[in-house]
Homo-oligomer: A and B are copies of this chain.
Amino acid sequence: MARNVLTISPSLEDYLESIFVIKQKKQTVRVKDLAKHLKVKAPSVVEVLRKLKEKNLIVHEYYGYIELTQEGINKAKAVYGRHIMLKKFLHQILGIDEKIAETDACRIEHYLSKETLERIIKFIDFIETCPQGEPEWLNNFYYFVKHKKRPLECKAKFLGGNSQNNIVKLSDLKVGAKAKISKITDTGILKSKLLGLGFVKGEILKIEKVAPLGSPVDVLIKNTHISLRKEEAEKVIVEVL
C-alpha cells in the first residue's frame, strides 16, 4: 500500500515527534539522541531519517545535525499536540499514573480517529473550564476508584433526610435513585408477591415516580415498570448505589 506524503506511518510520526521534543530542550538533535529517546539502536534511526528526508520532513547532512523542515515542524506539532492531550486525559482526568499515561498515550496516539481526539480535547476543556474548578463529580470518581463506592454526600440527595447510611427502605428513596435490593422484611404473602414481581436480592432498581403522599411508587426493575403501594415499598430494604 503506497503511502503518500501526507499520511506517514506510526513509527515515522514517533521519530518526528521525538525530534521536535529533543530540539526544544537541546537545540541540536543527533542520531544518538533519537536512539536514546526512542529506545532503539542507531541504524534504525538512520534508516528512518532517510525516509523522513525523502518526504521532505527533515534536513540531515552526512554525519550532521537533524533539522525539521517547516512541513516537518507542522506535522510534529500536530502529533505532539495529540500526545499531550491524550496524556492529560489519561493522567489528569482518569487519574492514571503519569508514567503509564505517558506510555499509553505514545502507543495509541497514532490510532485514534480525528473525531475521538477532538472529543477528548472537548472533554478536557469541559473539565478545565468548569465553573467550580475541579468538578465535584470527578472527585467523586476518584473516591469511587479508591474506595469502590461513592461518597455518602453524593448519594445524600437521593435518600430521605433521616438516614445516616445508604441502607434504607425503598419507600425512603426519592425520584431518580438507583438502588440494589438487599432484603425483604415481610415473611407473608407480601414477600411472595414481591419476589414474584422480580424483587430479588441483588437486583438493581430505579425510582421512576413517587406520588405526592409516597404511594404508589413507580419502580423500574428488569426493564419493567412496577407500581408499589407504600406498605409494600416499606418492606423492601435497599442499598443506594
Contact = CB atoms under 8 A, between A and B. Distances in A.
Interface residues of A, number: 44
Nearest to A129: B241
Contacts of A115: 96-97, 100
A132 B177 contact: yes
Contacts of A97: 115
Contact of A104 (B112, B130, B154, B178): B112
Contacts of A95: 119
Given A100-B113, A119-B145, 15 more contacts: A94-B123, A96-B119, A104-B112, A104-B113, A107-B111, A108-B111, A108-B112, A126-B140, A126-B141, A129-B241, A131-B178, A131-B179, A132-B176, A132-B178, A135-B137
Interface of A: 90, 94-97, 100-101, 103-104, 107-108, 111-113, 115-116, 119-120, 122-123, 125-126, 129-133, 135, 137, 140-141, 144-145, 150, 154-155, 158, 176-179, 206, 240-241
